[in-house]
Structure 1
């Protein structure tokens, strides 16, 4: 997950994104209801995804661009998207799937296997600002 850091001083057009930590190190689950809720992947659950198909960020760090290219880039990946901590922090976690049985909080909240991810993003946002921390994902 990247954080945007200023080279010297305030955030501006010269600020650059830096990869902070690989999601693989924080998230040990692959619950499809959470992936549907967050990114619209295999959304048989009827969630309104938070960040579906936004594509790969054109201002991603060099390291992240290299990693994405190693997976084959757009032709060999799907569900490529990103979301900022500001968006996640303002999410209605009580919103449910189309059947009204599963809330966002239940499938991807702080008490799920996504909790460590949210904890790191929350900490980075305290240092860099909520708009300057984002999670970038793709599926292979």
Structure 2
């Protein structure tokens, strides 16, 4: 059974004040409209320590709802319920080492294709069909996750194709194709208001 993510991008800015004249956090965008995959378990583990933990230390593991969470977020959380609430600012996301190797290999094989100029160009991650299994001399099950059986740097060549076991990184776990829109919204808000005044507040159901 899958786990769904819920939440909002929130922002605090000086020109929106409460009755006491203080700036407050308000919900800017619902994650429902920003993510393609709301059951992205690899990202949940990597960022929030949900659906397992690691590899590596999650930068925002189950912090709970912020005490000054926006009214809209609090109301939605109260209505939907959920668990493992947390939050992370854009400043913290920018400080994450997205490309540093994590203390585990990537279980999926990386695929490269030779360009007309003779360079190897990334063509994907993970093997489709039976070709990699044939080239590597593996049964179909072992070919699905070769990083669990072979050390980082192991390569198999097949003409203009190259298959390689590579380190696991946070960028591989938190896929741009799923999170890119959310990051773009947060980045734009941070350019105007500052990275510490833009955050992602989430919980899971």
Verify same fold: TM over 0.5: yes
Query: Deviation per CA, 1:51-77, whole angstroms, max 9, x where unpaired?
Result: 0010011101111111111123xxxx2
Which residue matches 1:100?
A: 105
Match for residue 200 of structure 2? Answer: 135
Offset of residue 45 of structure 1: 4.8
Pick one of 16, 19, 22 that aligns with 1:14. 22
User: Is the 2:45–2:53 Cα contact (8 Å) retained in structure 1?
Assistant: yes
* Structure 1 residue 17: Cα displacement: 0.5
**TM-score (norm: length of structure 1):** 0.85
Structure 1 position 44, deviation (Å):
5.2
Secondary structure of 2:203's counterpart equals strand
Contact 1:7/1:14, CA 8 A, preserved across alignment: no
Q: Secondary structure at the match of 2:178?
A: coil
Uncovered stretches (5+) of structure 2, i.e. residues with no partner: 1-8, 107-167
Distance in 1 (CA, whole Å) between partners of 2:16 and 2:179 is 33
4+ long deviations beyond 6 Å: none
Alignment: residue pair count: 132
Instruction: Give the 3 Å change call, closer, same or farther, for CA 116–5 of structure 1 in structure 2.
Output: same
Post-superposition Cα deviations, 1:10-47, rounded to whole Å, max 9, x if no partner, equal xxx91101100001101011221111111111125523
Which is strand-richer, 1 or 2?
2
Q: TM-score, normalised by structure 2?
A: 0.60
Give the aligned partner of residue 83 of structure 1: 88
Matches within 5 A, 1:112-131: 112-131=177-196
The Cα shift of 1:95 comes to 3.2
2:58 to 30, 49, 57: 49
Is residue 2:92 matched to residue 1:26?
no
Gaps of 5+ in 1: none
Deviates more, 1:81-90 or 1:54-63: 54-63
**Mean CA deviation greater in 40-49 or 120-129:** 40-49
- CA RMSD after TM alignment: 1.9
- Structure of greater Rg: 2
Q: Distance in 2 between matches of 1:94 and 1:100?
A: 13
User: How do 1:62-81 residues align onto structure 2 when only pairs under 5 Å count?
Assistant: 62-72=71-81, 77-81=82-86
